[in-house]
Amino acid sequence: MEKLKQLRIENGYNFREMAELVGISKPFYWQLENNQRRVTYELAIQIAKVFNLKPDDIFYDELKDRTEFLKKGSSNRKPKQVVKK
């Protein structure tokens, strides 16, 4: 989550400070920033409040890119053949 990382750095927060501001552990926050955990909508709201932004301002582009990637990937797959017994 590059935008989240960028905002954190620009605002002078470290992982521990961000975690405390949104009410989660430091390892959990690190995992969010490094795409090892998904952010819930409620947590996205809490994070956005720290930066006085809307959740979409932080997370929309990345979600959109991920969705487009998944659509492209699924269109290249051949449909499974159903074998009738």
For residue range 29-68, what is the model confidence (pLDDT) as tens digits?
A: 999 999 999 999 999 999 999 999 999 999 998 877 666 6
CA distances from 20 to 16, 39, 53 (A): 6, 16, 18
| Nearest-angstrom CA–CA distance, 45 and 23 | 12
- Residue 63: the pLDDT is 75
Beta strands, E only, the chain:
none
- Residue 77: the pLDDT is 57
Domain boundaries, the chain: 2-69
Which CATH class name applies to 2-69?
Answer: mainly alpha
Cα dihedral sign, 34-41-43-4: positive
For the residues 14-41, what does the mean pLDDT come to?
96
Return the SS3 of 46: helix
